[in-house]
Structure 1
């Protein structure tokens, strides 16, 4: 996964191999493992603002992948991004178990 700031939010990109590894833990996953995913979250509270399937540099709807596996992947992506970017507010709101360990700016 890769995370970076964009405007008032943060983006987390998930590669197909990471999705395949994630899907192996979700036996009923309907996620497309041949394409990546891109999530945009609010930097204030971690709310998901946008999600897309990414293939060959083009963005597509995640409609075909919608369901509990996509929601869990988005949650993992939010957690990763908040930790990687040291977003203490997001960690405190969405992942209080990690907020204790987060470095203070």
Structure 2
């Protein structure tokens, strides 16, 4: 007798609910034109810059925070750009594509 059978004996009137499918996270505004992901060196340190988002600044800040936490790196949001410390272009592009954004890689 497994756990489901035991629960049915204890609660005969209970009807189990079907698990709900997760809806894609669309709390951010998705745009048609691609965002630009590029690599630079400033003061000898590598950085990744994401720019070209045409939505609200608050949505872009949320995206910056999520990228920083998922990559476990530092960064900032300035002048309509997300600046991530280090060269994480490939990982950032994968994360943005998962969310439904079009991303264009610029530079090497």
TM range (shorter): 0.3 to 0.5
The structure number with the bigger radius of gyration is 2
Please report the TM-score for the alignment, with normalisation by the length of structure 1: 0.33
Higher relative CO (Cα under 8 Å, sequence separation at least 6) belongs to 2
